[in-house]
């Protein structure tokens, strides 16, 4: 079932086209990554889905959540209030869900930090708090705008695994903006590759499971080629690298 449907989405800034007739469906429990060059409109598309930018052409539909909440948003920076504790930050905008704070804090690994203030948290822990806040109201779609770009590689991989665990635990549907091809390959069920502005969908890649490292590397090379950064990769066949 499609939880998010985008049809013919186009967006201009001061008469300059940024997005041009984007079509996309994201299904329940699916993680889809938007991948493309800087400035191609990935974050703009996310803001439109979040309802933060109503000035566009086309159709955007998000299925209503169990309690009326359609989307949650995790930004590049945690955007925590420094004068509020972790518990209070998670509850901000979610006052009707106090009974879930302990459960969501446990799910993101913050059970022992609920009384801490943001200045006492590492970057990774602060982003866990932002994820908990976005999920507390049980949104149908979690929108993630490069939420791990400022973190070191080790912390980033920990949070990749956290997102996958949260999807398995809560069935959360996610739309993730990233510049990182390997991040997209690791996280996603599908990758939507966007081109330069005016941005169109160049390709959709189904990542699948059980790929060898060589097959993953080949898929990465194909995406780079689609974005204009590499020569055309050589063809590969499943099982070719098995030995």
DSSP assignment string, 128-151? HHHHHHHHTT--SEEEEESTTTTS
CB contact set of 92 (below 8 Å; sequence gap of 6+): 81, 84, 133
Residue ranges covered by each domain of the chain:
2-209
Any idea which fold 2-209 has?
Answer: Rossmann fold (3.40.50)
State yes or no: pLDDT of 234 exceeds 60.
Answer: no
pLDDT reported for residue 66: 62
- Percent of the chain at pLDDT exceeding 90: 67
Two structure tokens written together for 117:
């203030």
pLDDT reported for residue 208: 67
Query: Whole-number mean pLDDT of the chain?
Result: 88
Whole-structure pTM value: 0.89
State yes or no: pLDDT of 209 exceeds 70.
Answer: no
Q: What is the DSSP letter of 68?
A: S
**Residue 145 near residue 43, CB atoms below 8 Å:** yes
pLDDT reported for residue 216: 78
State yes or no: pLDDT of 187 exceeds 80.
Answer: yes
């Amino acid at each position: 079932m499609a939880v998010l449907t985008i049809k013919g989405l186009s967006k201009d800034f001061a008469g300059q086209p940024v997005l041009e007739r984007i079509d996309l469906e994201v299904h329940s429990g699916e993680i889809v990554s938007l991948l493309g060059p800087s400035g191609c409109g990935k974050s703009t598309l996310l803001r439109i889905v979040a309802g933060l930018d109503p000035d566009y052409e086309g159709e955007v539909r998000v299925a209503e959540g169990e309690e009326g909440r359609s989307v949650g948003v995790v930004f590049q920076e945690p955007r925590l209030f420094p004068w509020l504790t972790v518990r209070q930050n998670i509850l901000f905008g979610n006052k009707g869900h106090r009974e879930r704070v302990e459960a969501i804090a446990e799910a993101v690994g913050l059970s022992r930090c609920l009384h801490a203030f943001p200045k006492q948290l590492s970057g990774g822990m602060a982003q866990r708090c932002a994820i908990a806040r976005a999920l507390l109201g049980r949104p149908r779609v979690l929108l993630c705008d490069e939420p791990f770009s400022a973190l070191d590689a080790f912390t980033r991989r920990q949070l990749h695994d956290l997102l996958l665990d949260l999807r398995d635990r809560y069935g959360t549907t996610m739309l993730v903006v990233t510049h990182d091809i390997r991040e997209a390959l690791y996280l996603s069920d599908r990758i939507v590759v966007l081109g330069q502005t005016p941005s169109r969908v160049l390709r959709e890649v189904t990542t699948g499971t059980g790929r060898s490292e060589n097959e993953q590397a080949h898929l990465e090379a194909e995406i780079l080629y689609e974005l204009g950064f590499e020569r055309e990769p050589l063809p590969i066949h499943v099982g070719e690298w098995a030995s």
